[in-house]
Amino acid sequence: MSGFFSEKYKALVPYTPGEQPRDMKYIKLNTNESPFPPSEKAVRAASTAAKKLMLYSDPECTALKEALAARYGIDRDEVLPTNGSDEILNFAFMAFCDDKHPAAFADITYGFYKVFAKLNGIPYTEIPLKDDFTIDTGDYIGINKTVFIANPNAPTAIALNREQIEEIIRSNPENVVVVDEAYVDFGGESCVPLIHKYDNLLVTQTFSKSRSMAGARLGYGIGCRSLINDLNTIKYSTNPYNVNSMTMAAGIGMLEDEEYTASNCRAIQTNRDYISAELRGLGFILTDSKTNFVFAKHPKISGKELYLALRQRGILVRHFETERIAEYNRITIGTFEEMRILRDALADIIGGREEL
Ligand code: PMP
């Protein structure tokens, strides 16, 4: 730390992204990316846009907003594209939280919520998940705080249904409820249809998972006009050109090829069913995944040991040191071939344990 670092941030513990090692070629199942490339339409659109890179991107993201509005049956003033959904989440902390509206989120959820709260000096409460890692919706009814819920949740992979989330939104009319739907396309139920019913609902989504564009950094928030207006005030006070023109073009290209996205999601679900059954056969305990990853532990080997044994075999998964989930690993669903290799590696590791 330099002697110049602001007092405000000295105690900040930044978010740790999943590792991106370069020492050898790994099967990367640690950051919930898609194993499939973006649609050719997206690639072509981005490459055409590259020719105009001497110009600033459209700060209003007009064409992208129109494409998103058409996709979700909403108005273009009800959506705000951002630099990944991380950015819209940070904007939401900035716009909708303060001492009178502290943040509330689960103890086991997306690690960035706590970082954003601390970064912005916002008081927050972490609400413990139940022992089985499900959310007790009763904990959030009338909580009177700005609620952040990842649905489906990460890294637990478990989803609430729309009625359960709606109860939380309805019971907190004085606060915004942010529903982070980064993984919704893999089997969750979206709350987007509720945005016209509740002026305190913000839904965030991303192109990083189901739409194969993690490297392009594109996310968005959907909510009523007044919420989007507030978020725009934050955007225009930080970075008006937050979405670059190649990313914008690629995003529109992806939206023109929704059947490609849908078929990739179906493939992920098929591969998830396959690996879940195989893991259970090997004695693993899994949560009920509605995402592009599984969350698993095995009674014969610790989470850390399993992570290291897989790493040695060239397979990267995500292990968290957090006490409650230290026995688990979060494993991204890849191609069928990757899942077969994973299965064989796990059978080998677990088989070795059983001989001891
Ligand atoms: N929400 C959740 C629950 C996530 O797991 C992630 C991915 N790290 C994000 C939001 C942010 O993703 P991105 O910024 O790539 O849209």
Q: Which residues, at least 6 apart from 60, have a Cβ–Cβ distance to it below 8 Å?
A: none
Between the CA of 109 and the centroid of ligand 1 the distance, in Å, is 11
> Is 252 in the same domain as 138?
yes
pLDDT at residue 331, as a whole number: 98
Residue 19: which pLDDT band, with cuts at 50, 70 and 90? confident
Q: Are residues 135 and 64 in the same domain?
A: yes
Whether 113 and 234 map to the same domain: the answer is: yes
DSSP letter string, 59-111: TT-HHHHHHHHHHHT--GGGEEEESHHHHHHHHHHHHH-BTTB-EEEESSS-T
For the chain, the maximum distance between any two Cα atoms, rounded to a whole number of angstroms, is 64
Q: Which of 223, 257, 291 is the last residue of a domain?
A: 257
The answer to whether residues 229 and 287 belong to one domain is no
The pair of three-digit structure tokens given for residue 318, joined into one six-digit string: 């995500």
Residue 53 in domain: yes
- For residue 1, is it within any domain? no
Q: Which of 242, 257, 272 is the last residue of a domain?
A: 257
Q: Give 278-334 pLDDT, tens digit per residue.
A: 999 999 999 999 999 999 999 999 999 999 999 999 999 999 999 999 999 999 999
Q: Is residue 23 over pLDDT 90? A: no
The pLDDT value recorded for residue 356 is 59
Å from CA of 352 to ligand 1 middle: 35
Give a yes or no: residue 306 inside a domain.
yes
Same domain, 177 and 32: no
- 84 close to ligand 1 (CB < 6 Angstrom): yes
Residue 133: pLDDT band by 50, 70, 90 thresholds?
Answer: very high
Residue in the structure block whose two tokens are 């998964």 = 317
Residue range 107-136: average pLDDT? 98
Predicted confidence at residue 10, as pLDDT, reads 94
Tell me the two tokens of residue 243: 């979405």
Among 16, 80, 86, 242, residue to substitute to test ligand 1 (most atoms within 8 Å of Cβ): 86
Integer Cα distance of 160 and 141 in angstroms:
14
pLDDT of residue 17: 87
The closest alpha carbon to 87, from 206, 263, 253, 227, belongs to 206
- The CA-atom distances, in angstroms, between 217 and each of 24, 80, 82, 211, 214 are 25, 14, 8, 11, 6
Task: Indicate whether residue 85 lines ligand 1 (CB < 6 A).
Answer: yes
pLDDT at residue 353 in the model: 78
Q: 144 and 163 share a domain?
A: yes
Q: Which residue's CA is minimally distant from atom 7 of ligand 1?
A: 182
Q: Are residues 181 and 312 both part of a single domain?
A: no
Q: Is the CB of 110 under 6 A from ligand 1?
A: yes
What's the domain range around 86? 40-257
| Cα 170-227-69 angle, rounded to 5 deg | 100
Q: Is residue 194 part of a domain?
A: yes
State in Å: Cα 90 to ligand 1 middle.
11
Tell me: do 189 and 281 sit in the same domain: no
**Final residue of a structural domain among 257, 281, 316:** 257
Same domain for 225 and 116?
yes
Q: Are 207 and 216 in contact (CB under 8 A)?
A: yes
329: domain CATH number is 3.90.1150.10
Whether residue 47 is contained in a domain is answered as yes
Average pLDDT taken over every residue of the chain: 97
DSSP strand E in 190-248: where? 201-206, 219-223
Nearest atom (ligand 1) to Cα of 214: 15
In a domain, 2, yes or no: no
| pLDDT grade for 182, boundaries at 50, 70 and 90 | very high
Alpha carbons 110 and 120: distance in angstroms, whole number: 17
Q: Is the pLDDT of residue 107 over 90?
A: yes
The region, left, alpha or beta by phi > 0 then psi within -120 to 50, assigned to residue 283 is left
The answer, yes or no, to whether any atom of ligand 1 lies below 6 A from the CB of 219, is: yes
Ligand 1 pocket, residue 150 CB under 6 Å = yes
Q: Does residue 124 lie in a domain region?
A: yes
pLDDT at 235 over 80: yes
What type of residue is 166?
E
Q: Are residues 248 and 288 in the same domain?
A: no
Separation between Cα atoms, residue 176 and residue 313, nearest integer Å: 45
Nearest-10 Cα torsion for 94, 96, 98, 102? -120
253 and 305 in a single domain? The answer is: no
- β-pairing, 124-127 with 146-150? unpaired
| Ligand 1 atom with minimal separation from the 154 CA | 3
Which residue, 285, 291, 289, is CA-closest to 328?
A: 285
Instruction: Residue 93: give its domain's CATH number.
Output: 3.40.640.10
Band (18; pLDDT cuts 50, 70, 90): confident
pLDDT at position 91, please?
98
How many Å lie between the centroid of ligand 1 and the Cα of residue 182? 6
Confidence category of residue 24, pLDDT binned at 50, 70, 90: confident
- Number of compact structural domains in the chain: 2
Pocket test for ligand 1, best of 34, 89, 110, 211 (most atoms within 8 A of CB): 110
Residue 3 belongs to some domain of the structure: no
User: Measured in angstroms, how far is the CA atom of residue 184 from the centroid of ligand 1?
Assistant: 12
Residues 6+ apart with CB under 8 A from 2: none
Q: Are residues 127 and 229 in the same domain?
A: yes
